[in-house]
Amino acid sequence: METRGAVSRDVLAGKLEEARERTRLLLEPVNDEDLKTQHDQIMSPLIWDYGHIGNYEELWLLQKAHGKGLSDRELYDMYDASLHPREERPSLNLLDRDDATLYLDAIRKAVLETLKDADLAGDDPLLADGFVYNMILQHEAQHNETMLQTLQLIKGDGYKPEARIDLPSGRATEDEMVHVPGGEFVMGTDDHAQALDNERNAHVVDLPGFYIDATPVTNEAFVRFVEDGGYERRDLWDEKGWEYIKSEYITAPKHWYQPEPHSWWTECFGFDEPLNLSAPVVHVSWYEADAYARWAGKRLPTEEEWEKAASWDPEKGIKRLYPWGDEEPTRKLANLDQLAFRAAEVGAHPKGASAYGVLGMIGDVWEWTASSFYAYPDFESFPYREYSEIFFGLDYRVLRGGSWATRPAAIRNTFRNWDHPIRRQLFAGFRCACDG
């Protein structure tokens, strides 16, 4: 395959193959019963995710981009997330592992054939600069992380993955909080090759100065909140959050437990182990993050504050693609790409600091922000409104920065994630901010 414009077909083909290898690596140890079981009512059966990955690729890389297709309407309907809510998916006549694998292989073979002649330098906004191929890569990466959320919820023996990489030890930071001076910065992006619609358009935002935590909040800090009665103090909680934790009998982050007083343990993918006090707290809802921030005399950062602290270089007056610059993520810069199967201790990647010196803003844990999910100025849905537009409003809170379970293809300073404020299955933590 030759190169046309700035986009290499060989590179795209290689990335597609690598993405599929990762999906199968994650699912390989899972038995057929656990593949088809719905392990939590808010998650799909893993086998639905697997088939959906292939059907979404067929929809966009064959049908939408090239007017071709292999499947009938029934298969499209079965894997259409907007047609079948999660509670319905276990009852569908889903492809089993073997048939789904054959289906994904057939789709991929056809996709690679069409890629040979795709006009990546033309005017079609789907194909230009390889956008639709990058969208598919990000989609599969996002479902990899969703699968890991589900795998974390398996009962009994659990998933029990074997870590493929070692993580560096954490480092204490000199300052608990970092000051970000007031002034203008560029929020969002105008990129149309990698960025998704809700990241556009780039626009100038003028923020007053503020302080932001140098690292995400640690397990050690959150233990102090718990042991100080944080879950029992009504004054710390949003009204809906208070109703939620009381109705669900929540007294600590998800997967925490105490075998004896003042001894905190966690269950991680079926492994029971002492809580690493130096690691960031994870599996907390927005309501828990908000209550902690209030207890600490702080608040959650807004989405604008988070992005400025992560992306803006005040000396050069330019925006960075990642906190450390435009260099692609590596293991020395951030804990991404799943293979550690856990968050690193805070401060473990000092070379990944932002221009302001804020650490850990990409990788380890998604970070809840104070902001609801909304459209940027001059927003346009592309290529379909069900990706972003239907979720805009007060029902969802924005998360930033990715987690250890996020693949590099699916994260950058401008990437926006969102979910209901009650969600705790996410690999999500937070950091705090205050005025200044």
428 and 366 Cβ atoms separated by less than 8 Å = yes
Confirm or deny that 224 is annotated as ligand binding.
Answer: no
Which residue in the block uniquely carries the two structure tokens 């992380």?
145
Is the peptide bond prior to 383 cis by the omega test (within 30 degrees of 0)? yes
- Closest C-alpha among 418, 325, 297 to residue 367: 418
Confirm or deny that 143 is annotated as ligand binding.
Answer: yes
Confirm or deny that 9 is annotated as ligand binding.
Answer: no
Confirm or deny that 304 is annotated as ligand binding.
Answer: no
What is the bridge-based pairing of β-strands 393-400 and 366-373?
Answer: antiparallel
Q: Which residues are within 8 A (CB) of 353 and not within 5 positions of it... i.e. 6 or more apart?
A: 323, 324, 359
What is the bridge-based pairing of β-strands 366-373 and 428-429?
Answer: parallel
Q: Which residues are within 8 A (CB) of 285 and not within 5 positions of it... i.e. 6 or more apart?
A: 241, 244, 421, 422, 423, 424
Q: How far apart are CA 151 and CA 254, in angstroms?
A: 14
110 and 70 Cβ atoms separated by less than 8 Å = yes
Q: What is the largest CA-CA distance in the chain?
A: 65
403-to-264, 278, 349 alpha-carbon distances in Å: 22, 16, 14
Confirm or deny that 419 is annotated as ligand binding.
Answer: yes
**Alpha helix positions (H), 58-200:** 65-66, 73-78, 97-115, 131-152
Confirm or deny that 255 is annotated as ligand binding.
Answer: no
Confirm or deny that 423 is annotated as ligand binding.
Answer: yes
Annotated binding residues for Fe cation, written as ranges, equal: 52, 139, 143
Annotated binding residues for gamma-L-glutamyl-L-cysteine, written as ranges, equal: 86-89, 419, 423
Annotated binding residues, written as ranges, equal: 52, 86-89, 139, 143, 419, 423
